[in-house]
Structure 1
Amino acid sequence: MLPKLIIFDVDGLMLDTEARWQEAWDSVGKRYGVQDLGNTTFLKCVGRNGKEVEDIVKNDLRQFAHPEKILQEVREYGDELLKERIDIKKGLMELLRFIQSLSIPVAVATATDKDTTYQRLSRLQLWDQFDYILCGNEVHLRKPHPEIYETVLNYFGVNPQEAWVLEDSYVGVEAAYRAHIPCIMIPDLAPAQEKQKRETFAIVDSLIDVIDILKKNIQVTMMTYIQETPQQMKDNIINIEEITKPLVQLYLQKEYQSLWIIACGSSFNGAQCAKPFLMKYLNCDVKVISPMSFVYFENQITEDDFVFVVSQSGHSTNCIQALQKLKSLHREAVLITGQKNDDLKSYADIVVDYHMGIETVGYVTKGIVMLMEYLILFALVSGLKKHCIHQEVYDEIIKELLEVPERHQIIQEETKQFYQKYLYEMTSLNPTFFIGFIQSYGIALEGALKMAETTKHPCMAYEAEEFIHGFNLQLTPAYTVWCIDDCSQGSSRIISIYQAIQSVTPRTYAITNSPLVDDEHAIRIPFHIHEPLLMPLYILPVFQVLSYQISEELQTWNTHPRFSKFNDYVQTKTNE
């Protein structure tokens, strides 16, 4: 079970201060002819308050007339070293981001005084990362007394067994133990002894390992990955040059005139969502084609075509055939994948990781958004380097992209509220259509796929104009239809089509800002949209969240019993 609160120590746990102090002890000790003070006296002082440290020094260095002078020199030199540099411990930022994705409050409980703690954490932009910070001079008794941890628990109104403490020192572990709070020890300089093994529930090498412990305590679902998506998007935008470099370098080797993307399922839909952006910012034709269409017939590629295969899972058998077909055509078999170490790598000449993070449970949610974003980032960097776009345009798009993670979170919450409001309609499981133009057609494709594979009821996607040329004739008031506004050239047409459909079935909804759609039937897009072609990045969670919530409510995750025979005839994945 996940904790309701996680409490961090500071020195030696989050900040690599202890190594600097050890250096100061060793250096000053040598001046006085004492060797290895950093591994003897100093280790006894870790986590102790000032008076306790003074007593330890007086006892250990009693051969000197004024041991307090040695301690004073250590403190002065240690402060100098820490003013020069303080390093963040490995895995801290990753752990804080992961905890944030789980919406678990985080606190600090440190023996260090408040002024020093504020100066250090602020300097490293960590102070605002915590919901509550309690320092050594704000309590009466220092660690190993449990007072500081008990005070933090009282502040949050959390029981001891509902919290976790992360500690590096012996006295910190003891304080947590005496407060009856489960503790994970990440030893810094002093290794764990038998006492610490008894007083903790885990001893690990780094803060990164705490993420693995948290993951083992959570039930990972589709919603887990939906909620993780905004942070992954933000990370990838920040690292745009690094993550796109392999594909950009391949693309810039010559003046390609068109781009072929071979993909199926959600990868196909993600490529369709990104296609209009690629065409606009690379100023080239883009063809999105399924693997078997490519293998069986549509494979007349030329030297002017840049071609790659996409597989989110790294296990798709039809992608293997597409890679083999590329090789038979004497072309490099380039694979874009979210799982670069999986089976398909052995069939590709070049493997490019599109940095989707981990997604191992449920149906693809984070993976498709990260693929779209990667293709968009690739188009921006390549377009700038090929002089298809100017720096000002690049900067404007990056600025809007940096707003996308927050937009994704807002749309998630709006969709959850919409679902609760229309619970009956959403769980009726009647035939459902998804329609749109341009980038919204890609959203419609993925909305239909996601809803069909999770809820197991008929869902179909159409380009909006195609829909009203025959497919609309089956409409009755029992049907559900989603009209997805592209907020650009197709906007007025999709709203007219919405009004026509709504005259037949009241279960007609639009994702739009058009005033012609009443609030009862709209999921609004409450942002200033500079580039509508970015919309799929923050509109897709509408159908991801609805698919998860409907399937969870109705427990439609399992297929029909007869479906067990399906894979006896056709295999879509390699042995995972």
Structure 2
Amino acid sequence: MVKMADYIERSVTRLDEVAARGLELVEPLVERFTLSGCDALRIVASGSSKNAADIARPLLQRSLGREVQVVTPEAFIDFEHAQPANAFNVAVSQSGYSTNTIAALDFMAEHDLPCAALTANWAAPISEHAVCVFDYGVGVESVDFVTMGVHVLVSYLMLFGIEAGERMGALDAAEADRLRECLHVAGKACASGISAARALFENQKLALSTQAPAIFVGNGALRGVAQEAALKFSETTKVPAMWFEGEEFIHGPEMQIKPGYLVVIIDDAGGSERLAGIARGIHSVTDTCYLITAHPEGLAHEVAIEASASEVYPFAALAFIQYLAAQIADALKSWDVHPYLDAVDDAFASKAPGYDESVHELERRAATVYGDSAGA
């Protein structure tokens, strides 16, 4: 059986594959957006897809020279659809079965809003609710706790911004070429994060297995990584997990910290003295405080990751978080929810009918594509 860790490792080569055929993937959305006449972009997504969009957002906004929003389907329907008034809407659902994203697409259709949908599953119900549905290149990922799909969506959105920005004159050719080259080494950055997580867990397995509350901190694009970290740890290790920007963290949330808490502070790509100082202070309270950084100074609580450019640094940090969660969940066998919760799961189902069958089909395809040995 193919497991979460297998898909994280597969992300390394998948990012290379997506970069090689990037223009082919993004061209349909680039054309639709550039011809729309819209002067803003709004991405409507939830869960890991929203977190991926938040990671890509800084580069997207810089490349497009336009306002970029990332909102949940609920907020979009309630009020976020109003401003900016002339925005192009992109709804994202990797599974294609997310009922809240489908509801947002129905709202777009009812109000004649310019839009497109992104998915990894053309055969899913999302195709019945959108005029344009595009595949963003994930391929097969059968585990509910999506990881490879997060990496691929970040890469797709970044490349979309580069191509559309250059076409509209917001990004000059030299910078566009530099950014494209950056995406070609995203897989290498991802591999760095996996190696760092593997080494940390091997060295501190007992401390990381206490199932204490977890807090993740990051700024800018790394805020999206922190959001995804809190989600993944909640899903897989079943611990209360939170995320904050650096300054928000030390404006109250830090008051709960006590020995045993897991605190992961993701350094800025260029290095931040402020975040490094916060990490040093928190590490004096709990041994399981780590600073994830590309600029280590040799301190015990630092975890070094490598990235050749700031634009691909989030891929390294993201892979680190994903792989650490997968290792802890494997060690603790914490994948299943409490039986009482499992018994009422149908009461708040978030997927359209047919989702379970689609997962079984993905599992069958994964066994064919990757082989049973991939999950051994």
Give me the whole-angstrom Cα distance separating, in 2, the residues matched to 1:419 and 1:230.
20
1:449-464 matched pairs, under 5 angstroms: 449-464=231-246
Judged with a 3 Å threshold, the aligned counterparts in structure 2 of structure 1 residues 567 and 542 are, in CA distance, closer, same or farther, namely same
What residue is the counterpart of 1:407 in the other structure? 189
What residue is the counterpart of 1:395 in the other structure? 177
Structure with the greater alpha carbon radius of gyration: 1
Q: Is the 8 A contact 2:218 2:226 kept in 1?
A: yes
What residue is the counterpart of 1:506 in the other structure? 287
What residue is the counterpart of 1:329 in the other structure? 111
What residue is the counterpart of 2:361 in the other structure? none
Match of 2:155 among 373, 376, 388: 373
Match of 1:495 among 276, 287, 291: 276
Secondary structure, in 3 states, of the residue corresponding to 1:359?
A: coil
Match of 1:231 among 4, 8, 13: 13
One-letter amino acid matched to 1:500: G
Give me the whole-angstrom Cα distance separating, in 2, the residues matched to 1:435 and 1:569.
33
Judged with a 3 Å threshold, the aligned counterparts in structure 2 of structure 1 residues 413 and 564 are, in CA distance, closer, same or farther, namely same
1:144-293 matched pairs, under 5 angstroms: 219-293=1-75
Secondary structure, in 3 states, of the residue corresponding to 2:90?
A: strand
Q: Which has the higher contact order (CA 8 A, sep 6+)?
A: 2
Secondary structure, in 3 states, of the residue corresponding to 1:252?
A: helix
The alpha carbon displacement at 1:477 in A equals 1.4
Question: Does 1:521 pair with 2:301?
Answer: yes
What residue is the counterpart of 1:313 in the other structure? 95
Secondary structure, in 3 states, of the residue corresponding to 2:15?
A: helix
Question: Does 1:561 pair with 2:343?
Answer: no
Secondary structure, in 3 states, of the residue corresponding to 2:137?
A: coil
The alpha carbon displacement at 1:281 in A equals 1.0
Match of 1:353 among 130, 135, 140: 135
Q: Is the 8 A contact 1:365 1:544 kept in 2?
A: yes
One-letter amino acid matched to 2:318: L
Give me the whole-angstrom Cα distance separating, in 2, the residues matched to 1:332 and 1:387.
21
Judged with a 3 Å threshold, the aligned counterparts in structure 2 of structure 1 residues 514 and 302 are, in CA distance, closer, same or farther, namely closer
Secondary structure, in 3 states, of the residue corresponding to 1:437?
A: coil
Judged with a 3 Å threshold, the aligned counterparts in structure 2 of structure 1 residues 324 and 517 are, in CA distance, closer, same or farther, namely farther
Q: Is the 8 A contact 1:464 1:494 kept in 2?
A: yes
Match of 1:535 among 302, 306, 313: 313
Secondary structure, in 3 states, of the residue corresponding to 2:311?
A: helix
Question: Does 1:484 pair with 2:266?
Answer: yes
Q: Is the 8 A contact 1:276 1:533 kept in 2?
A: no
1:54-69 matched pairs, under 5 angstroms: none
Secondary structure, in 3 states, of the residue corresponding to 1:294?
A: helix
Q: Is the 8 A contact 1:495 1:516 kept in 2?
A: no
Question: Does 1:417 pair with 2:192?
Answer: no
More displaced, 323-332 or 306-315? 323-332
Secondary structure, in 3 states, of the residue corresponding to 2:91?
A: strand
Q: Is the 8 A contact 1:439 1:533 kept in 2?
A: no
Question: Does 1:341 pair with 2:123?
Answer: yes
Give me the whole-angstrom Cα distance separating, in 2, the residues matched to 1:245 and 1:513.
33
What residue is the counterpart of 2:79 in the other structure? 297
What residue is the counterpart of 1:55 in the other structure? none
- Structure 2: state its 5+ residue gaps: 356-376
Q: Is the 8 A contact 1:324 1:333 kept in 2?
A: no
One-letter amino acid matched to 2:332: L
Q: Is the 8 A contact 2:166 2:173 kept in 1?
A: yes
One-letter amino acid matched to 1:470: G
Give me the whole-angstrom Cα distance separating, in 1, the residues matched to 2:91 and 2:62.
21
- Deviations 1:182-211 (Å, cap 9, x if unpaired)? xxxxxxxxxxxxxxxxxxxxxxxxxxxxxx
More displaced, 308-317 or 220-229? 220-229
TM norm structure 2: 0.90
Judged with a 3 Å threshold, the aligned counterparts in structure 2 of structure 1 residues 494 and 457 are, in CA distance, closer, same or farther, namely same
- Deviations 1:30-58 (Å, cap 9, x if unpaired)? xxxxxxxxxxxxxxxxxxxxxxxxxxxxx
Give me the whole-angstrom Cα distance separating, in 1, the residues matched to 2:61 and 2:33.
14
Q: Is the 8 A contact 1:274 1:439 kept in 2?
A: yes
The alpha carbon displacement at 1:333 in A equals 4.4
- Deviations 1:400-422 (Å, cap 9, x if unpaired)? 22222122223212211111001
Give me the whole-angstrom Cα distance separating, in 1, the residues matched to 2:155 and 2:227.
17
Give me the whole-angstrom Cα distance separating, in 2, the residues matched to 1:245 and 1:516.
43
Judged with a 3 Å threshold, the aligned counterparts in structure 2 of structure 1 residues 328 and 527 are, in CA distance, closer, same or farther, namely closer
One-letter amino acid matched to 2:347: Y
- Structure 1: state its 5+ residue gaps: 1-218
What residue is the counterpart of 2:365 in the other structure? none
The alpha carbon displacement at 1:486 in A equals 1.8
Give me the whole-angstrom Cα distance separating, in 2, the residues matched to 1:478 and 1:232.
36
Secondary structure, in 3 states, of the residue corresponding to 2:35?
A: coil
Question: Does 1:573 pair with 2:351?
Answer: yes
Question: Does 1:382 pair with 2:160?
Answer: no
What residue is the counterpart of 2:247 in the other structure? 465
- Number of aligned residue pairs: 354
Secondary structure, in 3 states, of the residue corresponding to 1:510?
A: strand
- Deviations 1:206-246 (Å, cap 9, x if unpaired)? xxxxxxxxxxxxx2111221121122211111112211111
Over the matched positions of the two proteins, sequence identity in percent amounts to: 32
Give me the whole-angstrom Cα distance separating, in 2, the residues matched to 1:271 and 1:517.
33
One-letter amino acid matched to 2:78: Y
The alpha carbon displacement at 1:517 in A equals 6.2
One-letter amino acid matched to 1:251: F
TM norm structure 1: 0.59
Judged with a 3 Å threshold, the aligned counterparts in structure 2 of structure 1 residues 455 and 308 are, in CA distance, closer, same or farther, namely same
Judged with a 3 Å threshold, the aligned counterparts in structure 2 of structure 1 residues 254 and 266 are, in CA distance, closer, same or farther, namely same
The alpha carbon displacement at 1:328 in A equals 1.8
Judged with a 3 Å threshold, the aligned counterparts in structure 2 of structure 1 residues 513 and 224 are, in CA distance, closer, same or farther, namely closer
1:36-75 matched pairs, under 5 angstroms: none
What residue is the counterpart of 2:370 in the other structure? none
More displaced, 352-361 or 505-514? 505-514
Cα RMSD (Å):
1.6
